[in-house]
Amino acid sequence: MTISDHDAYIAAAPERFRPLLATLRAQLARTLPDAEEVIEYNMPGFRIGRSIIASYAAFSRQCGLYLSPGTITAHADDIATAGLKATKTGITFPANNPIPDHLVEQLALTSRKDVGL
């Protein structure tokens, strides 16, 4: 199945994740007001120019927020303090432990800066 936009992606996600994804989308849109909403690699994301600043996804048991690798490194302590798991380019979290609002904003702004925008 091909997803055409953020609304369709959220609607197709597991029901328990839909409110979380809608909130994450709104947070990213507020933090990156000049970014274009796109679908890349079947994931919703926010792009400025040719650079994806942030993407998000839902899976069967968790959600993920994907950013530049430098962002994850720069905020490793904040991510750990929030009780979240990080990979090289993403943070995964269950529905009952979303990324705190202030951290989403910091992560998006750092990712933007990290890609040179």
Query: What is the pLDDT of the chain when averaged over all its residues?
Result: 96
Given a contact cutoff of 8 angstroms between Cβ atoms, the answer to whether 56 and 65 are in contact is yes
Given a contact cutoff of 8 angstroms between Cβ atoms, the answer to whether 105 and 27 are in contact is yes
The reported pLDDT for the residue numbered 2 is: 75
The reported pLDDT for the residue numbered 1 is: 60
Looking up tokens 């009780």 gives 83
**CA atoms lying within 13 Å on the CB side of residue 36:** 9
Is the pLDDT confidence value at 108 over 70? yes
pLDDT tier at 112, thresholds 50, 70, 90:
very high
